[in-house]
A and B are shown apart, each in its own frame.
Chain A
Amino acid sequence: MRRQIPLLITLIVGAVLIIAAFIPRAPFGRLGENFSLYFDIIAVFAFLLGGGNLVRIHGARLVRGVGMAVTEAKKGGGAWPLRFVIEFPFLAFGGLKDRRGRDWFFSLITLLGFFAMLAAGLLKLGNPSGWQGNVTAPEGMFQDFYDSMFNPLQATMYALLAFFVASASYRAFRAKSAEATILLVTAFIILLGRTPAGAYVTAWMPESLSFLTVPNLANWVMAIPNLAGQRAIIIGIALGVIAMSLRVIIGIERTYLGSDEK
């Protein structure tokens, strides 16, 4: 029973949404749209699960780690709080022998960041227009935190890609096989074509061969063979999604629902 009801829910919800796509009249016409809105709401409820998990894990590590660090400091005897302060960097940055509590200081950072941001946002601290103001209004504490921490962290993490893209292309673009050579040659043309250098390399070509200049070739590769491959991939994906959705709806694919037993 515990398994049948969820399967039935999936079947009904999935089938109704598919049928509703063909009925423009209310309430069917807006069903898909409304269900998407419902999903967003459920996702916010779920934040409690995720956030709870985050706090639980880091909280536990913090408590355990601080305990261990204090024990460690007390071992030296004398004025252990003073010892704790002096040895703090050591005790905080991985100096503890027991793995389970070693990263306590980092967990503390996570928790501080989490609660500071949460408080600033939920209470709209420092918001120029108070409760009614937009939570992301400039000068609010939430936005300040965002600008000074979230933004540089996010942008830099993203920027790491500049380095990784270089190391990956150095390693992967090597003419070891027919496929790898094609990959290499195409990437090479496009790379050149995206810079002013591409235009200079083939600038000597006569007008009649202009389609062979690197920028034109790069544009052609983007517009034609790339497009062909994209289309094949997209059509394949669409069929994959259709079959997968059907399997889910009729209940053949149900690993996500857990087991029959409790």
Chain B
Amino acid sequence: MPSCWVNALVRCVIHALSPSVSVPRERARESRTLLRFFAPALLFLGLVAATVFAQAPNGGAAPRSVSDPQAADTKGDEGGSIMLRWTLSPDDSAGQVTGYEVFRAAKPDGPFKSVGFASRGSARFADGSTDDDSSYYYKIITTGPGGSTETAVIGPARSTAEWFNSNRANVLVIGLLISGAVLYYIASAKKGKKLFIRRIAGLEAVHDAIGRATEMGRPILYIPGIQDMDDVQTVAGVTILGYVARTIAEYDTKLEVPTSRSIVMSTARETIKAAFLSAGRPEKYSDDMVNYITDEQFGYVAAVDGIMVREKPATCFYMGAFFAEALIMAETGNSIGAIQIAGTAMPAQLPFFVAACDYTLIGEELFAASAYLSNEPRQLGSLKGQDVGKSIAMLAIAAGTALFTLNQILRAEWFASAGQWLKNLFIVN
């Protein structure tokens, strides 16, 4: 029945398109009548069909099956997983598909058991429960409100473990590039090559801030963040503490470092002890400079606020990972008139430090701070290496953007695929 309609439609279209084609008069009249009668109706139907076609070609019926299903070992994993891929059902975008259920069996003739469900729009499914020593057979069932259709049995497939995670090849290459750049500049700085490093205002202020505390005879408060040593920001905070402590050791200023983690307390003690020693003032060091308060974020900040309003430090440093407590501390510090220097790589807390502190090290500057303060050529060399990393990132973004833009303007397949290729280099697996 539908084919009959299609036939009529096609004939009409041909006639409409070729009025000059010589056809027997009778036939022509017949077509004209047909046209006159049916054209508006057909046009309407065509429009409806076109819209409907885009949405639901076979409303109520079972969705059509996926095509080209394949099952193969998941690449670059530790085994125990088989990846299934397919081309989406033509009804997928029309909303007639609820999803794809994957069935598995040890033999081609079954029995098949469901191993999982991929939702609408996804063209792959990883069966993560396979045994590397066995073969498996699969079939994929496309389900929808109108019923379901299944593919033929595919397989056999086996899972294997690999020695190299090929999905991460891009991470390896770019990692090597950036590490190479960092190591290269460290090496060349070691050989005595002079490097320019721009001024970082927040770090220039460190000396003045310590001097001010000494003049006022008030303590210096140093907060190395509220995370543990497994956060790299805490590592940065503690190393910066080392350089700050070295300067403090030269003055007669009291240093207070409340910590919210026991391991940070231990590490900070080691760091300050070493700093005082290298400044030639080991006798001034005491374990009481660093105290553990509590692991609890807000218990910690309650105590730090207490220290602030009671001891009135002249300078507060906040260097490390911070969460909501950042503003509580910074506002209390502000109310007692302390000079405040903050640094964090927590994007969510940066606005508050910027608003309430005198100087703020933004993200990357926190990690650059220890190198900057050390003023040691090798350390500064690594900053140059970081810049190479930024250049790579900027180049890649610019190239990808250019390719996609050209594709929009020129509509050339080549640009699209080149752009996609470049983009895929930076895909996260």
A and B touching (Cβ–Cβ under 8 A):
yes
Residue in chain B with minimal CB distance to A155: B298
Mask: chain A, 175-201; 1 = CB below 8 Å from B; 0 = not? 000000001000000000000000000
Q: Are B367 and A244 in contact, CB atoms less than 8 angstroms apart?
A: yes
With a cutoff of 8 Å between Cβ atoms, the chain A residues found around residue B324 in the complex are: 158, 161
Q: How large is the interface on B (under 10, 10 to 19, 20 to 34, 35 or more residues)?
A: 35 or more
Q: How far apart are the CA atoms of A167 and B393 in the complex, in Å? A: 39
Q: Are B239 and A50 in contact, CB atoms less than 8 angstroms apart?
A: no
| CB-contacts of B228-268 with A (<8 A) | 228, 230, 232, 235-236, 238-239, 241-243, 261-263, 265-267
Given contacts A252-B186, A259-B277, contact A243 B385 (CB under 8 A): yes
Partner pick for A164 among B77, B328, B368, CB 8 A cutoff? B328
Given contacts A240-B367, A253-B370, A255-B370, contact A25 B162 (CB under 8 A): yes
Q: How far apart are the CA atoms of A23 and B238 in the complex, in Å? A: 32
Q: Which 4 A-B pairs have the closest CB atoms?
A: A255-B242, A240-B367, A50-B262, A236-B364
Query: Known pairs A53-B262, A256-B239, A259-B278. 12 more at Cβ < 8 A?
Result: A21-B171, A22-B172, A25-B161, A49-B265, A49-B266, A154-B299, A168-B334, A237-B363, A239-B386, A239-B393, A256-B238, A261-B277
Q: How far apart are the CA atoms of A54 and B376 in the complex, in Å? A: 37
Q: How far apart are the CA atoms of A143 and B362 in the complex, in Å? A: 40
Given contacts A54-B292, A168-B331, contact A248 B389 (CB under 8 A): no
Q: How far apart are the CA atoms of A167 and B242 in the complex, in Å? A: 33
Partner pick for A160 among B235, B270, B328, B390, CB 8 A cutoff? B328
Partner pick for A153 among B78, B270, B302, B347, CB 8 A cutoff? B302
Taking Cβ atoms with an 8 Å cutoff, the residues of B that contact A are 76-79, 161-165, 168, 171-172, 175, 178-179, 182-183, 186, 228, 230, 232, 235-236, 238-239, 241-243, 261-263, 265-267, 270-271, 273-275, 277-278, 291-296, 298-299, 301-302, 324, 327-328, 330-331, 334, 345, 347, 350, 352, 354-356, 362-368, 370-371, 376, 378-379, 382-383, 385-386, 389-390, 393
Q: Are B182 and A258 in contact, CB atoms less than 8 angstroms apart?
A: no
Residue in chain B with minimal CB distance to A23: B163
CB of B267 to closest CB in A, whole Å:
5
Q: Is A42 interfacial (CB 8 A cutoff)?
A: yes
CB of B168 to closest CB in A, whole Å:
6
Taking Cβ atoms with an 8 Å cutoff, the residues of A that contact B are 18, 21-26, 29, 36, 39, 42-43, 46-51, 53-54, 57, 150, 153-154, 157-158, 160-161, 164-165, 167-169, 171-173, 183, 230, 233-237, 239-248, 250, 252-253, 255-259, 261
CB of B154 to closest CB in A, whole Å:
24
Partner pick for A50 among B172, B238, B274, B292, CB 8 A cutoff? B292
Q: Are A24 and B76 in contact, CB atoms less than 8 angstroms apart?
A: yes
